[in-house]
Chain A
Amino acid sequence: MMTSIPKDFKYTREHEWAKQEGDRVRVGITAYAQEQLGDVVFVELPKVGAKVSASKAFGVVESVKAVSDLFAPVSGEIVEANAELTQKPETVNADPYGKGWMILIKPSNKAEWDQLLTAQQYEAFLKQGGH
């Protein structure tokens, strides 16, 4: 993996990233995750207003060959979902940390943020094989 991992994001062991934006948390999957999946052809995201729980599935990403659950880094309410991914799921491959974002959460439990991996920890996790 040559793609650099954004230093100010946090990460899950299921390869989601989380980025703090004021009191919201933006979520997507990492470059490593999209690379492992291969071409993303379908993304299913929750509706605005839905509640998600940390470590629980909030949606699905499908590549040509496989179906994978998406796990919420933190609990809270969906305030936005990336509608563009419905028509252009390949954006997840092209720009996983930017335009390929998936959901914006209004967190309900601030303590969960500290449970997530730092960029350094996630990098170390990847070096050990990433699972």
Chain B
Amino acid sequence: MDTPLKRTPLYQAHVKAGARMVPFGGWEMPVQYTGIVEEHRTVRSAVGLFDVSHMGEFEVEGPKALAALQRLTTNDVAALQPGHVQYSVLCYPNGTIVDDLTVYRLAADRFMITVNAGNIDKDWAWVTEHGGGARWRNASASTGLVAVQGPKAEALVGGLADQDVTKLGYYRFARGAVAGVATLISRTGYTGEDGFELYAPAGETERLWAALLDAGRAHGVAPIGLGARDTLRLEMKYALYGNDIDETTNALEAGLGWVVKPAKGEFIGRDALEKIRAEGLKRKLVGIEMVDRAVARHGYPVLKDGRRVGIVTSGSYGPSVDKYIAMAYVETPLASVGTELAVEIRGQAKAARVVRTPFYASKVKKAG
């Protein structure tokens, strides 16, 4: 690759902490500090800090901001109140996925969207081309983002915040200071645990990170790398762009129909998704668990009686469920829970079955 890897405001802190740095979506990121399984367990049992500053933030405002987002995203932005967050998808006209994102309504005519790091340039081109008439601002480089996740997250963030965060419901946000740093405190995450995502000015993110680590010691805090971020989200069957969803998968087969709202009116991909819904899905993204001991990985074929019926999109060992688990697209008739399948691993068919998801019961706070 010709372009040098980008670094977040916390790069030096990661190196100093002894993190193993790897390239990810054009960024140099910590994959682990002490070990993936240990970090995974820290998030499930105490609290972990994730540097997700590589993610992109775009702001859009003006009288046409709402209409622009309604046209660009599949979910109903009109139903989103100021102070609320919405998960959504940007689709191509054929219903496949540009990116998945969260939408923040900052004020009646002001929004922020958070997009995947590897898609920032593509998404920026997409939203400014198709979200015309509204004023867009790319705040990605000036914004740091720290996720605080785990059962002790509320105690940790609450202890440093200038307000009562216990009242903040799931997918709600507030402006406030954390450790004296001006942040947007969002009760969201990508782990299945209670927690927060704290947006801060890039120049102050390191101070925020240090304060959270310091105050978190009493709660058993640890910094968590991308490796554990991946196993945590896999146990929840949360899709990862580039693995489970991309420009070849449509939002419905990916199981994201719950954020596709044709009733709201026209949006990019609506006609195609309506047609797909009417005709029925050819395949579905399901959770599978290995019956034979083996690890299913991205790209491995899924078999039924020797016939290829799908493909694995993500797979690993799930430390909290103590099983080898995976996500896979399989033909719709084979997508129901309990279906016996196989995954082809190094030329051998290893028994697997479709199971209920999430693999790990969600511990997120309920909407308040």
Tell me if B294 is interfacial: C-beta within 8 Å of chain A: yes
- A41 near B35 (CB under 8 angstroms)? no
Assuming the A-B contacts A60-B346, A64-B227, are A38 and B316 also in contact, with contact meaning beta carbons closer than 8 angstroms in the complex? no
- A42 near B227 (CB under 8 angstroms)? no
> How far is the CB of B301 from the nearest CB of chain A, in Å?
15
Q: Chain A contacts of B297 at CB under 8 A?
A: 67
Tell me if B37 is interfacial: C-beta within 8 Å of chain A: yes
Q: Chain B contacts of A67 at CB under 8 A?
A: 295, 297
Docked pose: A41 CA to B294 CA in angstroms: 9
Docked pose: A90 CA to B322 CA in angstroms: 12
- B324 near A65 (CB under 8 angstroms)? no
Q: Chain A contacts of B96 at CB under 8 A?
A: none
- B231 near A64 (CB under 8 angstroms)? yes
* Binary flags per residue of B283-312, CB closer than 8 Å to A gives 1, else 0: 000000000011101000000000000000
- B35 near A38 (CB under 8 angstroms)? yes
- A38 near B227 (CB under 8 angstroms)? yes
> How far is the CB of B229 from the nearest CB of chain A, in Å?
11
Docked pose: A41 CA to B234 CA in angstroms: 15
Task: Identify which of A42, A44, A86 contacts B324 (C-beta below 8 A).
Answer: A42
Task: Identify which of A41, A44, A60, A90 contacts B316 (C-beta below 8 A).
Answer: A41
Task: Identify which of A60, A64, A86 contacts B317 (C-beta below 8 A).
Answer: A64
- What is the count of residue pairs linking A and B with beta-carbon distances less than 8 angstroms? 39
The residue in chain B whose Cβ has the minimal distance to the Cβ of A42 is B295
> How far is the CB of A69 from the nearest CB of chain B, in Å?
10
Docked pose: A42 CA to B293 CA in angstroms: 8
Docked pose: A44 CA to B35 CA in angstroms: 22
Q: Chain B contacts of A60 at CB under 8 A?
A: 346
Tell me if A39 is interfacial: C-beta within 8 Å of chain B: yes
Docked pose: A41 CA to B324 CA in angstroms: 9
Docked pose: A63 CA to B35 CA in angstroms: 11
- A64 near B36 (CB under 8 angstroms)? yes
- A86 near B293 (CB under 8 angstroms)? yes
The residue in chain B whose Cβ has the minimal distance to the Cβ of A87 is B293
Q: Chain A contacts of B36 at CB under 8 A?
A: 38-39, 63-65
- B293 near A64 (CB under 8 angstroms)? no
Q: How many residues of B contact A (CB 8 A)?
A: 17
Most chain-B CB neighbours within 10 Å: which of A63, A64, A67, A90? A64
Tell me if A14 is interfacial: C-beta within 8 Å of chain B: no
- B316 near A64 (CB under 8 angstroms)? yes
Docked pose: A60 CA to B293 CA in angstroms: 13
Assuming the A-B contacts A67-B297, A86-B293, are A38 and B32 also in contact, with contact meaning beta carbons closer than 8 angstroms in the complex? yes
Q: Chain B contacts of A86 at CB under 8 A?
A: 293
Task: Identify which of A42, A44, A62, A64 contacts B37 (C-beta below 8 A).
Answer: A64
Q: Chain B contacts of A64 at CB under 8 A?
A: 36-37, 227, 230-231, 316-317
* Binary flags per residue of A82-111, CB closer than 8 Å to B gives 1, else 0: 000010001001000000000000000000
Docked pose: A62 CA to B37 CA in angstroms: 13
Given A42-B295, A64-B227, A86-B293, 5 further pairs, Cβ under 8 A: A39-B36, A41-B316, A62-B295, A64-B317, A67-B297
- The residues of A with any CB-CB pair to B shorter than 8 Å are 38-39, 41-42, 44, 60, 62-65, 67, 86, 90, 93
- The residues of B with any CB-CB pair to A shorter than 8 Å are 31-32, 35-38, 227, 230-231, 293-295, 297, 316-317, 324, 346
Selected A-B contacts with CB under 8 Å, 28 pairs: A38-B35, A38-B36, A38-B227, A39-B36, A39-B38, A41-B37, A41-B295, A41-B316, A41-B317, A41-B324, A42-B293, A42-B295, A60-B346, A62-B295, A64-B36, A64-B37, A64-B227, A64-B231, A64-B317, A65-B31, A65-B36, A65-B227, A65-B230, A65-B316, A67-B295, A67-B297, A86-B293, A93-B35
